[in-house]
Amino acid sequence: MATRYPIPAEEARIEIKVKNSRFIASGAPVFSVAEAKAFVARIKSEFSDASHNVPAYQVGFGPSTIAHCSDDGEPSGTSGRPALAVLQGSGFGDIAVVVTRYFGGTKLGTGGLVRAYGDAVRELLAVLPRAEKVPTHTVMLSLPYSIYEQLKLLVAAWNGRLLDEVFAADITLTIQFTVERFDGFQDALRELSHGSLEAVIMETNEATIMPIGTFNQDS
């Protein structure tokens, strides 16, 4: 079974201030080095008047990770490396971050820079919506109106995503489940319908991005 790990569900951005310097951390999901470089270039273009745009990314997860960082003109080791270290300790994969700094007139020193860049990434991860790439089945199911409400509760109980509903003589639902959850749902459906209903698999996707909530530093 493929390794499961959290990835960003979407782009996010936060800002912190340290001794009048502004640190803006922007993060995004990236699934190749080319995507990571394109994201970094876009943020650098957006904040082209900033003092520094410090990138850090890791594509993949675990032993197969491709990692990169740069200090972008800050003193060596004070920005890119601390930012990447936070990413590497976060459990996230397939993630790119750029920390933009607008200098506020007060030098922070080596230790101050390390803390500021690390803190900016930590603050970003605290609000970053989280997802996983997981194998899923998209299924179709026709059911009578009499068990519609019970069926919706069953879908929720097995973490299904309701994609479509068509109301005619019967109700036809299109639902997405992770592969590992689908058999349990199917068994529960047979029990609910006394064996009369069964969901039909229409499509299987090996790498669906499924939201799973918000990253928790203590998890």
The per-residue pLDDT for range 75-101, each reduced to its tens digit, is: 999 999 999 999 999 989 999 999 999
3 pLDDT band (50/70/90 cuts)? low
With 0-12 / 13-18 / 19 or more C-beta atoms within 10 angstroms meaning exposed / middle / buried, residue 145 is exposed
Q: Is the pLDDT of residue 2 over 60?
A: no
Q: Which of 20, 24, 32, 31 is nearest to 54 (CA)?
A: 24
- The correct answer on CATH 3.30.70.240 for the domain covering 132-214 is yes
Cβ neighbours around 94 below 10 Å, total: 24
pLDDT in the model for residue 214 = 39
Give the model confidence (pLDDT) of 107-165 as tens digits: 999 999 999 999 999 999 999 999 888 889 999 999 999 999 999 999 999 988 899 99
User: Which CATH architecture is the domain 6-127 placed in?
Assistant: 2-Layer Sandwich (3.30)
Domain boundaries, the chain: 6-127, 132-214
Distance CA 70, CA 54 (A): 6
Predicted local confidence at residue 153, as pLDDT = 94
Structure tokens at 46: 């957006």
Burial class (CB in 10 A: 0-12, 13-18, 19+), 115: middle
**Predicted TM-score of the model (pTM):** 0.73
- Answer yes or no: is pLDDT of 63 > 90: no
The reported pLDDT for the residue numbered 116 is 96
